[in-house]
Structure 1
């Protein structure tokens, strides 16, 4: 996974690519994504700059997702 992310990051910088990454790994999202979109049951419930959503999630589902990360690294 780490090698793939390095490659994607390099391609993004060199070619100005946008990347859509669909994952449940919030640690990965926090370290890689500029923007974050939170979906629940197929519907978008919240979106915004990644740092903002981790710092001040507004939707209860987003809050629950962040609180559920083991080790409490986002609190």
Structure 2
């Protein structure tokens, strides 16, 4: 799997995911908050399945395989 989420994109995805999950867990925004699992997972795994379809790559190093974005 090719890494395509890097740097600031990754940090923002993880932060937004955690906030949404936290709000859903505390029942502030309801069940829709659990959608935060998606940005959290894409940030942690550094791969967004929608990016290749759209031709986007926010990983500046263009790493592939098991490598990581820096």
TM-score of the superposed pair, with normalisation by structure 1 = 0.28
| Bigger proportion of residues as helix | 2
Higher normalized strand content (fraction of residues): 1
Please report the TM-score for the alignment, with normalisation by the length of structure 2. 0.29
The structure, 1 or 2, with the larger RCO (C-alpha pairs under 8 Å, 6+ apart) is 2
